[in-house]
Amino acid sequence: MSPQRRNLQTNAKITPNHIIFNPPSSAPNVYHTPSKFLPKSDPRRALYTTAAATPTAEAPKSKPKGILASIANERAASTPPASQLKPVRPIYEKKYHLTQEDIDEIRRLRKEDPRTWTRVRLAKKFDCSEFFVSLCASAPEIADEREKELERIKSKWGRKKREARELRQERKKLWGRDV
């Protein structure tokens, strides 16, 4: 045995009273960082205490059979039930309130001046979605202008960029196929 290897082994035996915390290389998460490693002023400590204070589902009656099962049970116990979580976006009901006259008005306004009466503005005025406005009234001249602008931009591309974009489009066509 080499002297260096023997030295490493003896060093490992000398310092067994230390903690090795080697988390996986991923984004930090409140549930993955033990509170022991958080400073006293860290706001995540408050999250731990609120998660521990919320009523949770009953703990399993049988003991978990492995370390992964026990970790999963601890995580499930510290997660609040879905009924207590706040919604990510506001809850709304779909509305079916527009009459045929309203739809005709949307079409007329969009046809008169599509730059003034955009999808966003019409959706706000009639209290409906932008998607519904696009289904009711299209503005082909706006689409043509955008297409011309895109062609003008593409005309400035060099050979390498143009070929790279064409190859990318060809690869995208092959995505869904079994090759």
Q: What is the pLDDT of residues 143-172, one digit of tens each?
A: 899 999 999 999 999 999 999 999 999 999
DSSP letter for 84, please: G
Please classify residue 48 by burial: count the beta carbons closer than 10 Å to its beta carbon, then call 0-12 exposed, 13-18 middle and 19+ buried. Answer: middle
The first and second tokens of residue 94, run together, are: 């779909």
Establish how many alpha carbons lie within 13 A of residue 98's alpha carbon, considering only the half-sphere containing its beta carbon. 20
In the prediction, which pLDDT does 147 show?
95
Place of tokens 């703990």: 59
- Cβ within 8 Å of residue 60, ≥6 positions away: 73
Terminal Cα-to-Cα distance of the chain (whole angstroms): 53
Place of tokens 């009901």: 93
| pLDDT greater than 70 at residue 117 | yes
CA 173 from chain centre, in angstroms, equals 26
Digit-coded pLDDT (tens) for 10-55: 555 556 677 887 877 776 655 667 777 888 888 878 877 777 777 6
Place of tokens 């903690």: 19
Digit-coded pLDDT (tens) for 72-102: 888 888 888 878 888 888 887 888 899 999 9
Please classify residue 122 by burial: count the beta carbons closer than 10 Å to its beta carbon, then call 0-12 exposed, 13-18 middle and 19+ buried. Answer: buried
pTM of the predicted model as reported, rounded to 2 decimal places: 0.42
Length of the chain: 179
| pLDDT greater than 70 at residue 3 | no
Distance CA 93, CA 96 (A): 10
| pLDDT greater than 80 at residue 104 | yes
